[in-house]
Structure formats: C-alpha cells, structure tokens
Amino acid sequence: MWNLEGVLVDRLVAVEEQVEIDRARAVAGALAPDAAKVAVIPHGAFTHLAGLEPAPLPLPDPGARPVVLFFGLIRPYKGLDVLLDAWRGIDDAELWVVGNARMDVGPLRAAAPPNVRWLERFVSDAEAAALFRRADVAVLPYRQIDQSGVLFTALAFGTPLIFNQIAMTLFMMIDRFFLEGYGKARDVGVYAIANTLVGVVSVLATVPFSQVWTVMRFSVMNEEGADEYYSRVLTYITFVSMFLSLGVAAVTPMKRSRP
C-alpha cells in the first residue's frame, strides 16, 4: 500500500488515450514501484455512439453545402476565436458551433460571419450522432489538449479531422520519448510529474489571461487603434513570459556530471 496525494491505495488504474499510455505507465511506475499493481487501460473511440439511431438534425441542413463541425463545451482553450478568424472569407460552406458555452461568446457571435450556425445547448447522444454523420469535417482548433471526447467521437464516425498546433503537441510530448530512450521509465514518470506541477503557472496566469483576452480582442477589433492595442498587449505578455522563464532558469539547480 502506498500514498497517492494523501490517499492510501493498493492499486492504480490509469485510463488514458493511446498517445498517453507510455506517460501514464511511467507516472504510475514512479508512484508505485510494484509494476504488478499498475494497470493502464487504453481509451478507445466512442463506437457506442455510432450504433445509435440518429435523431433529427438540431440545425437546418444546408443541402449540398459542406458542413464543418465545432462540437463540445465552449471554453477559452478550445480556440473558437482562432477558428472564427480563419473562417473569414469562406462563403461556400457552413460552420456549426454546437455545445454549452462556459465563457462569454457574445462578442464572438457578433463578429462571426453569417454562415456560422450556433447551437448553445447540451445535445443528446442521438443528436450528436446525427451531427457527426452530417458533418463533412470536424475541427479542433485547441490551444492545448491532453485528451478529447470530441476526437474519440469523430473517430467512431470516421469524420475527417482538422487539428490546430499539431507541431506544438508533438513538441510537448516528444521529450518523454527521448527520456525513455536514454534514461529509465521512472525518469519519465518524475519528469511528467514535474511538468504537471509547472502547469500551475498555466492555471494561475495563462488561462485567466486567455479568458479575458478572448473577449477584449473582439470588443475593440473594429475601433480605431485596435492593431496598436493588440501589439502593445502582446509585447507586454512576451516580456513578462521571458522574465518568468529567465527567473525559473536562474533558480533551477544544474546537475553536474562527475569527473
């Protein structure tokens, strides 16, 4: 029996998507030295949804026009503002934004092109099945992602996917493969735990800023001097980020190699 965040447990089960299996196993191995007590269950596609009888489409079918689907809870990290910026100039398709809003989407709706359809409510599994069957492509313009129910749903229906920042996701994950190749699984686990702790900065700074900035940037986009305002804010953010990075580097102890 071992301690995990103050709770005594005798077995650890990690349910993760395929790309995170090695990370989950390594983290669990670092916390629980007894590998026999660690079980990792891969998270597969939501195939049960594909077997449902679909409900009527909750949005009007545009006929032959292609439909791009943005599905799920609307939160700042989902990058809906990025998607709407990229959507400008696309006139021969419709963008469907479907899901409960966990942020103020008023400025986004006001600035959205006319071929964006909104459904800001919970949809049933049968309605989700109808939406994914109708969609020509599903889009995930997320700023950050560890796992996604939308991804697993799209895989179940064979819906083509468009991602954002794939290179950044690979960059954030590939370091663990180097550690595993040149170190031990326990090293990967300790590294993953440290990386998670660093995520506190994201919770305390990045996420709050994103929530405020998403609304602010659209509220002033049509005003005179908007470009200068964007430039000034992002310049401040860049300098603050550099200052914090240098501060962390300055206090981080270096591991010296033995002669």
CATH number where 114 lies: 3.40.50.2000
* CB count in 10 Å sphere of residue 62: 14
| pLDDT value at residue 7 | 46
Residue 238 lies in a domain: no
Angle at 204 between CA 186 and CA 241, to 5 degrees: 85
Residue 35 CA to residue 25 CA, distance in Å, equals: 9
Residues of the chain below pLDDT 70: 1-44, 146-147, 165-181, 185, 197-201, 248-259
Rounded to two decimals, the pTM is 0.54
Residue 20 CA to residue 182 CA, distance in Å, equals: 19
| pLDDT value at residue 80 | 92
pLDDT in tens, 106-141: 999 998 999 999 999 999 999 999 999 999 999 998
Looking at the structure, tell me whether residues 135 and 88 fall in a common domain: yes
Residue 121 CA to residue 234 CA, distance in Å, equals: 33
| pLDDT value at residue 117 | 95
| pLDDT value at residue 165 | 63
Residue 115 lies in a domain: yes
**Contact criterion met (CB below 8 Å) for 61 and 165:** no
| pLDDT value at residue 87 | 92
Looking at the structure, tell me whether residues 121 and 181 fall in a common domain: no
Residue 224 lies in a domain: no
Residue closest to 148 by CA, chosen among 169, 129, 131: 169
| pLDDT value at residue 21 | 46
Q: Which region, left, alpha or beta, applies to residue 6 given φ > 0 means left and ψ of -120 to 50 means alpha?
A: left
| pLDDT value at residue 54 | 77
Looking at the structure, tell me whether residues 59 and 158 fall in a common domain: yes
Structural domain span for residue 122: 49-164
Residue 226 lies in a domain: no
Where a domain ends, among 147, 164, 181?
164
Angle at 115 between CA 113 and CA 119, to 5 degrees: 100
pLDDT-above-70 percentage for the chain: 66
